[in-house]
Structure 1
Amino acid sequence: MKIKKGWAVVAAAALFALGACSGGSFGNKPAEATNDGIMTIALNTNPGVGESNQFVKNWNFWAVGGKGVAPGMTLLYETLLGLDKAQPGKLTPALAESYEMKDGGKQLVYHLRKGVKWSDGVEFTSKDVKWTYDRAIGDACTDREKGEDGEWDYKCWVASKVQTPDPYTAVIQFNEPDRQQVLNFAAWYPIFPEHIWSKKNVDKDQNLEPVGTGPFRVKDFKPEIIKYELRDDYWGGPSQGVKEVHIIPGASVGARQAQLSRGEIDWTVGSAAGVLTDFVQPDPQNNHYRFYPNGGGYGVIFNHTVAPFDNLEVRKAMRSAIDPTKARDAAAVGYTIPTPAGLDPTMYAPMLTPETSQPQQQDVEAAKASLAASGFTVNPAGNLEKDGKEFPITLYINVSNDQDMQAGPIFVSQWKEVLGLSVKIQTPAETVFNKAASKGEYPLFFGTVAGGTSMYFAYQGYSVQNTVAIGAESPSVNYGRWKNAQVSDAAYGLQDVDPGDFEGTKPLAGVIAEQAQAEAPFIATEGTGYQVMWSSRKWDGMPEIGQPYVPSLDNYQDPIQTILAMTPSTPKNP
C-alpha cells in the first residue's frame, strides 16, 4: 500500500537534529531567586524561516506568507492524542479520551473528552475536529485510480470528510487500512475552534486573538517578549505554581547559559560541547542539562546514486572504520549511540532482536576486509581508485552545526587511520547545505538517518513512494536515495499494525534493522533527541528521562504537561 507523501513527517530541516553554538563562561552574580509565578523561557525566534532577535506576531497555524508563527502555539492549542516520548508508538489521551480502529483498519474513531471549553467559554465538540481535519486531509473520494506502479493514488486516501455522529465522536474513513495515521494527527495537527475559524480567511488572518483549549492565553505581545497567562478553567486541572510563561528570543548558547546562571531565564533548548563540564559542574545545585532521546538517529549519509558510494563494500568499510564514541565523548552532551539502523537501542529494544539492538561499533578488521572486497584500492594520495579512475572523497558539513563541525574531523581522522583514506571537508552555509543535501547534490554529508518517536516515523521516508529523484527536494529522511524493496515493503506493512503493538511491529522492524545493518545505507553515529538546559533557582520538577513527555515547546501536549507540573523550588545556595 502507498504511504502518503503529504504526511511525510521528517522535513529537510531535520538535517540539523542536534545543532548547537559555542559555549561561554558565567562569572556574574546570580539574581536573587524570588518566585512570582513567572517562568521565563528563551527560544529561537522563527525556526525554519530565518533567525532574528524578534518574534513574528502571528498565531495562524497554517502560517501567513511563510513568515513563521509565534512560539508558544503549543501552550494554546492541543491535539486529540499525545505521543508517548518514552515508548515509541504509544499514544496518550488529550482532547480525545481514547480511539479505536474499525473496519479492518480503514476507520479511525475518536471518543472525545467532555467538559472541555475553549478559552472564550464555548464548548469543544466534534465539529471542531471536523473543521480542522477536513482542512488538513483535503479532498475525499472513492473513485481512485492506480498509477503506473500499481499503487492507489496517494492524493485520494480518505473515502469521506470527517463524520460526526454526535458531539463527542469523530470518524475518519480511509480507503485502505491506515492504522499509523493516528500518529500523524497526534504529532502535527492541533484542533482549532470551528466557531472562530469558519469565519476567518485562513490564508491571510494572523489570528491575533487566538482561542485555544490549552491552559494559557496570550496576555501581551512585543517583538522581544511574549507573555502567556494561565487560564483558571483549564480542563486538565490547575498548575502547581506557574501563573505566566514569558518567552524571549534566545541568543547564543553561551549567552543563554550565562542567563541561566544569573537566574534571568529558567529554561532553554540546545546546548554546546562541554555543557556538563562548563555549565553544570561549576554549580550543579542550580544549573542542569539533560538529553532526552526520541529514538531516532543522526550521522553520515552516503549518496547511493554516485560512485564510490554505490558500492556496498565501500559503504561497509567506511562505516566499520568509525568509532562513534570518540565524537560522543568529545561533544559531551549526553546523546546515545544508535544501532546501525539509526534506532535507539533502549527505546526500541521491545521491537528488535539482540543482534539488531546493539549500538553502532567500530570493527577495524571488518573495515579493511570490506575495502579489499570492494575492488577499490587507496592510492598514494589517499583517494579511492578503480580501473584507473580516481575518486576523491569530500565530507560536507553545515558550518552552523557545531557538533558536526567537531565530529567531522574525528571521523576523517579515523578513515585515515583505519583505511588510509584522505577525506576532505567542505563547510557550506546552512541554507546552501540544507537545500543541496535535500536535493541529493552531496556524495557524503551529515543528516538525520531515522526519524524519532515511532518505527513508522523512523522509516516511512524510505518507502519507494517517498524516495524522490536526484535534483528534487526530498520530503523525507532518505536524502541518500537508498532503495531497498524489503525495507519499503516493511514500511508499507507498518500501516496494517497498530502503533503501540510492539509484538506486531517486531517482524517488520526486524526486516528494516537487518537490511540497514547489511546494506550500510549510512553511518548512524548519534541518537537524536531534545537538549534542554535549565536553572532550578526558581522552579523544580523537570521531567525525568522515561516519562511520557519531554520539555519541548515544539511538541503538542509536552510543554503543557511539563509546565503545569513544575513547582516553586526550595531555597538553594547561589
Structure 2
Amino acid sequence: MILRSTRARRAVIGLAVGAAAFSLALTGCSSSGDGGNGGNGGGAADTLVVYTGQAGDYQINFNPYSPTKIGGLGAIYESLFFVTNANTNEPKPLLGTEYAWNEDGTQLDVTLRDGVTWTDGEAFDADDVVFTFQLLLDNPALNTMGFNGAIEKVDATHVTLSFDEPAFVQAPDLLGKVFIVPEHIWSGIDPTTDVIAEPIGTGPYTLGEFKAQAFTLTANEDYWDGAPAVKAVRYLSLSGNTAGVDALKAGTIDWQTGPVPDIQNVSKNYPGYDQITIGQNQMALLSCSNADLGCEGPQTDPAVRKAIYYALDRGQINSLAFQGTASDMSPTFALLPAQEQFISSEIDEKSVPDAPDLDEVDELLTGAGYAKGSDGVYAKDGEPLSLTIEVVTGWTDYITAIDTMSQQLKAAGINVIAAQSSWNEWTDKKSKGTYELAIDSLGQGAASDPYYLYNNFFSTANTANVGEAAPVNVARFSDPAVDDALAVLKRTNPDDTAARQEQFDVIQEAIVENMPYIPILTGGTTSEYNSADFTGWPTEDDLYAFPAIWASPDNAEIFKALKPVGE
C-alpha cells in the first residue's frame, strides 16, 4: 500500500514514464552487471541504493525551504534535535544538546553543540541558528509552522526563543523541523526562489555526483558525530511501482517504500530482503459535514455518518484492498497503539468494530427518520439514501476499498458510488467542500501526540465556508468546546498529563459523537530493505525512526544507523 502523501507527491512529479527510463536507470546506475539478490544495486558494499518513488528526471535543488527540494533534510542540513512521530522518545540532540522551557512556556532556551563545522570548513555557532529562525520570520511563505516568536543570541553556544503566549506545543517544530543553514552563504541567497546546487550543511552527508536519473550523497568524513559507515547513498529515478518491484527482484536497490505483490512474504519472494509495515495514517471517509458552513447532502446528518461507520466489514476491506497491511484504529483518532494512553476512559468503544452491526445501523437511521423501502434501501422524504465517494484515479487500493465498501453498504441499505478524478480535482473538491464523501488519510503531526492531529483536522481555525479553501479541516467540523479545549492544550505544559487528559476527553467525546471523519483503519506503510548486506534497520521493537525512504529527516537517522554486514 502507498501512503497518501506519497501519492500526492507522485501526482506532482508524474508517474507515467516509459519502460525505457527504467532500463536506462538500471544500466546507468549499476557499476556491475551483477543481478544477485541484495547486491547493493551492483555497487560497492558500503553504498546504499534507494528508490523513493521518483519518476522522471531529478531537477537539482537542495534548498531545504523550497517546495521543489529533492532531498538533504537531516542528511545535509540538520535541525537542533531529531524529533519523530514514530515514537514518543525524547528529542535526540543534534546541533542542540539541551533545551528547557520556562514555567509558563513563553521562553525556550537552547544549548548548541560546540566544535561543529560546516562542510566548507567554516565554524557553526549561534549566529547561524538566529539567522535561520529570522529567515522564517522575514519570509512568511517559508514559515509553514507558524513560528511567531523572537530569537536572540546569548553567546556562541546559547540561544533563546521567546513568545507572547505559551508555546509548549510548538516545541517539536521548533526543535526538529527548522533546518539550520549557514549565514555566511545564505545571507546572499533569496530562500524563496534560489535553487541550491552546491549545498553546504553540517550533516553526515554531502552532495556527490548528480545526474538527472540518479544522484549520490557522500559521507561527510568530518561529521561531528563521526563519519557514517554507509559511505554513499545513491538515489535512483525509476518509472513507478512496477519498476521498483523489478529492481527488488534483480537486487539492484537496497531500500524502497511501496507495494509489492504478496507483501506479507517479502523475505520468501525476494531472498535477502525483509519488510516492515508501520501504521501511521488513519484512513477515513471524509465528509462535508457542516450544513451551517454550506455543506449539502445526507452526510451532514451525524446519524448517517455513524450508520456508515457501523455498516463496514473492516476485516474484508483490509484483506481485499490492503493485503492485510492495515491495522486497528480508534474512533477518537488517537493513533493505536502508540497513543492509546490518551484515549478517554469515557469512550466505550476504544477501537473500530471489525464486523458490521446492522442492528445499530437500523437503529441510527430509523431514529433519524429513515425507513427501509421494498428495494432494501433506506429513504427519507421519498429520497433514497445515496452518497458519492471521491477518489483519485489510479489509487487502486482505495478504489478497491470503495468497491468493497459499496457492496457492504448496499447490504446495509445505503447506496454509494465512487467518483474518480485527477488529484488536482479531488483536492479542489475537498478543499472547497464541494463533495459528499472522500476517501483519504489523516496524517500525524510533528510528534506522536494526538494534539497535533486534533488541531489540524478539528479546529474551526483550520476550516472555512463551502466555496472557500479550508487549510486542513476539510470536514468543516466546528465545535466551540473543541476549540476551547485546543486553546487550553496549547498553553498547558506537556508534563501535566492530568490537565491535558481533561481536554482530550472533551475533544474525543465530540469526535466520536459527530464523526465528521468516518474511521476505516490505520493504513500501513510498507518498506522493503536489504537485510543481507546491511544491519541496523528499524524494527517494531526499536522504531527509532519512521522507516520510509521518502520520510525526512527520519531517513537520515537510518542512514547513520546502518552498517554494512561485517563491519
Question: TM exceeds 0.5?
Answer: yes
Contact 2:257 2:549 in 1 (8 A): no
Superposed, 1:311-390 pairs within 5 Å as 311-330=301-320, 331-332=322-323, 334-353=325-344, 356=347, 358-361=350-353, 362-379=356-373, 384-390=378-384
d(CA) in 2 for partners of 1:76, 1:70: 12
d(CA) in 2 for partners of 1:15, 1:378: 39
Residues 1:402 and 2:396 are matched in the alignment? yes
The alpha-carbon distance between structure 1 residues 121 and 553, as it changes in their structure 2 partners (threshold 3 A), is: farther
Structure 2 counterpart of 1:264: 252
Q: How many Å apart are 1:244 and its aligned residue?
A: 0.4
d(CA) in 1 for partners of 2:552, 2:413: 48
Among 465, 490, 505, the alignment partner of 1:469 is 465
The alpha-carbon distance between structure 1 residues 333 and 155, as it changes in their structure 2 partners (threshold 3 A), is: closer
d(CA) in 2 for partners of 1:333, 1:124: 48
Q: How many Å apart are 1:467 and its aligned residue?
A: 1.4
Superposed, 1:242-321 pairs within 5 Å as 242-272=230-260, 274-277=262-265, 279-283=266-270, 285-294=271-280, 296-304=281-289, 305-321=295-311
Structure 2 counterpart of 1:566: 562
Structure 1 counterpart of 2:178: 189
CA RMSD of aligned residues (A): 3.1
Among 533, 538, 551, the alignment partner of 1:538 is 533
Letter in 1 for 2:282: G
d(CA) in 2 for partners of 1:440, 1:339: 25
The alpha-carbon distance between structure 1 residues 394 and 327, as it changes in their structure 2 partners (threshold 3 A), is: same
Residues 1:235 and 2:228 are matched in the alignment? no
Residues 1:87 and 2:72 are matched in the alignment? no
d(CA) in 2 for partners of 1:174, 1:428: 44
d(CA) in 1 for partners of 2:503, 2:515: 18
SS of residue in 1 equivalent to 2:174: helix
Q: How many Å apart are 1:522 and its aligned residue?
A: 1.8
Q: How many Å apart are 1:392 and its aligned residue?
A: 2.9
Name the TM-score, length of structure 2 as normaliser.
Answer: 0.85
The alpha-carbon distance between structure 1 residues 31 and 326, as it changes in their structure 2 partners (threshold 3 A), is: closer
The alpha-carbon distance between structure 1 residues 108 and 69, as it changes in their structure 2 partners (threshold 3 A), is: same
Of stretches 267-276 and 114-123 in structure 1, the one that deviates more from structure 2 is 267-276
d(CA) in 1 for partners of 2:402, 2:8: 14
Among 200, 219, 244, the alignment partner of 2:189 is 200
Structure 1 counterpart of 2:434: 441
The alpha-carbon distance between structure 1 residues 275 and 570, as it changes in their structure 2 partners (threshold 3 A), is: farther
> Which has more helix, going by share of residues?
2
The alpha-carbon distance between structure 1 residues 82 and 174, as it changes in their structure 2 partners (threshold 3 A), is: same
User: 1:193-231: per-residue Cα shift (whole Å, max 9, x none)?
Assistant: 111101223233212110111100011111101111001
Q: How many Å apart are 1:114 and its aligned residue?
A: 1.7
Count of matched residue positions in the alignment of Structure 1 and Structure 2: 526
Structure 2 counterpart of 1:115: 115
Contact 1:215 1:230 in 2 (8 A): yes
Q: How many Å apart are 1:307 and its aligned residue?
A: 2.4
Contact 2:35 2:251 in 1 (8 A): no
User: 1:511-559: per-residue Cα shift (whole Å, max 9, x none)?
Assistant: 2222211212222212246431122242222111242312335444422
Contact 1:303 1:481 in 2 (8 A): yes
The alpha-carbon distance between structure 1 residues 429 and 86, as it changes in their structure 2 partners (threshold 3 A), is: closer
d(CA) in 2 for partners of 1:75, 1:193: 15
Of stretches 225-234 and 400-409 in structure 1, the one that deviates more from structure 2 is 400-409
Superposed, 1:22-33 pairs within 5 Å as 30=36, 33=39
Letter in 1 for 2:387: I
Contact 1:90 1:499 in 2 (8 A): no
d(CA) in 2 for partners of 1:238, 1:301: 46
User: 1:153-179: per-residue Cα shift (whole Å, max 9, x none)?
Assistant: x999745x3111111122221111111
SS of residue in 2 equivalent to 1:414: helix
Among 152, 167, 179, the alignment partner of 2:156 is 167
Of stretches 368-377 and 222-231 in structure 1, the one that deviates more from structure 2 is 368-377
Structure 2 counterpart of 1:101: 101
Name the TM-score, length of structure 1 as normaliser.
Answer: 0.84
The alpha-carbon distance between structure 1 residues 309 and 272, as it changes in their structure 2 partners (threshold 3 A), is: farther
d(CA) in 2 for partners of 1:451, 1:194: 32
Contact 1:40 1:248 in 2 (8 A): yes
SS of residue in 2 equivalent to 1:427: strand
SS of residue in 2 equivalent to 1:236: coil
Q: How many Å apart are 1:104 and its aligned residue?
A: 0.9
Letter in 1 for 2:369: G
User: 1:431-479: per-residue Cα shift (whole Å, max 9, x none)?
Assistant: 2212222222211111223534322221112211111222222222x21
Contact 1:89 1:500 in 2 (8 A): no
SS of residue in 2 equivalent to 1:309: helix
% same residue: 22
Of stretches 489-498 and 86-95 in structure 1, the one that deviates more from structure 2 is 86-95
